[in-house]
Amino acid sequence: MACIILHRSNKEFLVTKIAFVVDDEPANIELIKGLMPKGVKVKAALSGEIALKQLSKKMPDIVFLDLLMPQMDGFETLQAIRELPGGDTLPVLIISGNANETDVEKGKTLGVIGHLTKPIDSNKLAVFLNQYL
């Protein structure tokens, strides 16, 4: 189980924003929910397959995507997201214990907005939230 440094952002939203977390570890989803500022609704999926079904119905404002998941990994999920209507411009932030240069470069080629490693630095996360929400 990953450890996430918990600090809440002071930013609040007048219009509800939707963040979507794709991670096979429920504890990680809960920790990310705890980092979201007021006014951000968090939806989640425990697998890439489930995420694609939900995202095909409604796109969120941002996606937080784990790379290391069973069956469909994060990159396979990301490639499929990019093929959905509206998925080509959807901001996707990779959050993973994997921080190797190959994964970072592959993420860039697939249009991710960034790559945060676990444990998550809440200040770095806040930068992405402020920029993309």
pLDDT at 75: 96
pLDDT at 39: 86
Go through the domains of the chain in sequence order and give each one's CATH number.
17-132 (3.40.50.2300)
pTM, entire model: 0.87
What is the mean predicted confidence (pLDDT) over 54-72? 96
| List of residues 6+ apart from 19 with CB closer than 8 A | 32, 36, 40, 41, 42, 43, 60, 61, 62, 63, 64, 133
Residue 100 has pLDDT above 90, yes or no: no
* pLDDT grade for 14, boundaries at 50, 70 and 90: low
Q: Are 72 and 100 in contact (CB under 8 A)?
A: no
Residue 26 Cα distances to 22, 83, 97, 103, 115, angstroms: 10, 26, 15, 23, 20
DSSP 77: H
pLDDT at 20: 98
* pLDDT grade for 91, boundaries at 50, 70 and 90: very high
